[in-house]
């Protein structure tokens, strides 16, 4: 039995949660992150809550030249899925640049329906928590992270390119990188009082 206490103070965790910001690849230097840190982020992902001990998360890590290959694949797919009149060369360039500006791209997958008692949504929820664990960890390491989704991420072609089965769902692409110096990110949230009904 492990001691469940932690040396992290309430002030530290409050600050970490509030200061985590999405930092996009275009706000990164393109420098490489040590693979050991990536492994630690992945390890932290696995400590997320999950129903039925299913640990439904799976990860595909792209780095170095496989980042480019992923970029090439997404550009081809963008061309394929976009009607000619809507196709924008800048979007294709952005897809390519995103890869070189990032250090690692983690494709995060939820394996669902492993247990008939656990609804699919719960596996996806657990994997979303795993992504949050990685984003919070990235913040502490001073790293940028961006959780991207969209038509290309959810496309059948992306699913089959990764060799996924019917029960496996892509929950997002997590772009990780080294943020440019002096970056200031503003964010707001509505007052929590607007979202809470405290039943008395």
- Name the nearest CA neighbour of 146 among 120, 122, 192, 178: 178
Q: Which stretch binds ligand FMN (CB under 6 A): 66-74, 75-83, 94-102, 148-156?
A: 148-156
124 binds ligand FMN (CB under 6 A): no
CB of 36 to ligand FMN, least distance (A): 25
Q: Which stretch binds ligand FMN (CB under 6 A): 11-19, 95-103, 110-118, 147-155?
A: 147-155
142 binds ligand FMN (CB under 6 A): no
Dihedral pair phi/psi, residue 66, rounded to 5°: -75, -20
Residue 138: how many other CB atoms lie within 10 Å: 24
| Residue 150 marked ligand-binding | no
Question: Cα separation of 199 and 120, whole Å?
Answer: 30
| Helix %, strand %, coil % of the chain (to 5) | 50, 15, 35
Q: Which stretch binds ligand FMN (CB under 6 A): 3-11, 69-77, 146-154, 155-163?
A: 146-154
Tell which one of 118, 148, 162, 168 touches ligand FMN (CB under 6 A).
Answer: 148
CB of 21 to ligand FMN, least distance (A): 4
22 binds ligand FMN (CB under 6 A): yes
Residue 42: how many other CB atoms lie within 10 Å: 18
Question: Cα separation of 69 and 99, whole Å?
Answer: 9
| Contact footprint for ligand FMN (CB under 6 A) | 21-22, 147-150, 172, 187
């Amino acid at each position: 039995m492990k001691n469940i206490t932690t040396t992290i103070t309430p002030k530290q965790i409050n600050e970490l949660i509030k200061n985590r910001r999405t930092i996009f690849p275009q706000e990164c230097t393109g420098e490489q992150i040590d693979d050991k840190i990536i492994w630690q982020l992945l390890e932290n992902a696995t400590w997320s809550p999950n129903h039925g001990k299913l640990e439904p998360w799976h990860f595909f890590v792209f780095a170095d030249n496989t980042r480019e290959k992923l970029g090439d694949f997404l550009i081809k797919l963008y061309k394929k899925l976009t009607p000619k009149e809507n196709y924008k060369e800048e979007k294709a360039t952005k897809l390519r640049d995103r890869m070189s500006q990032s250090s690692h791209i983690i494709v995060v997958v939820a394996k669902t329906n492993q247990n008939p008692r656990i609804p699919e949504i719960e596996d996806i929820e657990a994997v979303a928590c795993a992504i949050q664990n990685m984003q919070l960890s990235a913040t502490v390491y001073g790293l940028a992270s961006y959780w991207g989704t969209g038509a290309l991420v959810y496309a059948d072609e992306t699913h089959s390119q990764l060799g996924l089965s019917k029960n496996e769902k892509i929950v997002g692409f997590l772009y990780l990188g080294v943020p440019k110096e002096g970056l200031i990110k503003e964010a707001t949230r509505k007052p929590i009082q607007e979202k809470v009904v405290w039943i008395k």
